[in-house]
Amino acid sequence: MFSFLKLLSLSLLIAGTTLAQTISGAEAEKEVADTIKEVKTIVLNNNGTLSEVELDKKIEAVLLPKFDFEQMSKSSLGAGWKKATPAQQSEFIKLFTSLLSHSYLEKIRKNIEKSEVKFHPTTVKEDRVIVHCNVVSDGQNLSIDYRIYLKDNAYKVYDVMVENIGLVSNYRSEFAGLLDKGDFEALLNKLRAQVAKVEA
């Protein structure tokens, strides 16, 4: 009887965990839509009253927690991730996050006010979901897919596809070329220089 009760308790625990971690396409789409709306409101309410640096900080506070930069960092390096020491991995995540943030904040700041987003049915596969949408701005119509999964019961973006070109895979090609030519420290030096440039 004791063994049966233990098994039953374990089964209920696993079932509860699975239930808590079940991903929902509708919820993931709402998360993306709400985030876009929040960022758009920040820009509309503060554009012209805050400096670009102050406005970017407000946008970052909303956007950065929505992305799993650690996973994106690992994926962008592929096998190269294991070539780095823990200290190098930690610095890479920090530099990669900063590079992505600064590379796209200006575009977001300048374009989000006049952008319109149309969502399409999501794709759900096991523990992953793809939120499909089109963004129309200045006559351009871009297809954007947010690849999302659940981490600690929160929806996190782990890759973004723009016109079927993956953000992570794009960087993976670049980083692989750099690692082929030198060691991991050479890659970090390159990233340090790029981050210093965008932060200047």
Sign of CA dihedral 155, 30, 97, 59: negative
Residue (of 129, 136, 157, 153) closest to 62 by Cα position: 157
Give the CA angle between residues 194, 106, 116 to the nearest 5°.
140
Structural domain boundaries enclosing 83: 24-199
How many domains, in total, are found in the chain? Answer: 1
Q: What is the pLDDT along the chain (200 residues), one digit of tens a residue?
A: 444 333 333 333 333 433 346 889 999 999 999 999 999 999 999 978 999 889 999 999 999 999 999 999 999 999 899 989 999 999 999 999 999 998 888 888 888 888 999 999 999 998 999 999 999 988 889 999 999 999 989 999 999 999 999 999 999 988 988 888 778 999 999 999 999 988 87
Pairwise CA distance, residues 23 & 65, whole Å: 18
Q: Is residue 8 part of a domain?
A: no
Q: Which helix (DSSP H) or strand (DSSP E) does residue 145 occupy?
A: strand 140-151
Q: Is residue 185 part of a domain?
A: yes
Q: What pLDDT score does 6 carry?
A: 38
Q: What is the pTM of this model?
A: 0.84
Sign of CA dihedral 89, 91, 92, 94: positive
Q: Is residue 160 part of a domain?
A: yes
Q: What pLDDT score does 133 carry?
A: 97
Give the CA angle between residues 185, 187, 190 to the nearest 5°.
110
Q: Is residue 140 part of a domain?
A: yes
pLDDT digit string, tens, across residues 26-79: 999 999 999 999 999 999 999 789 998 899 999 999 999 999 999 999 999 998
CATH number at residue 146: 3.10.450.710
Q: Is residue 145 part of a domain?
A: yes
Q: Is residue 117 part of a domain?
A: yes
Q: Is residue 53 part of a domain?
A: yes
Q: Is residue 18 part of a domain?
A: no
Pairwise CA distance, residues 43 & 58, whole Å: 9
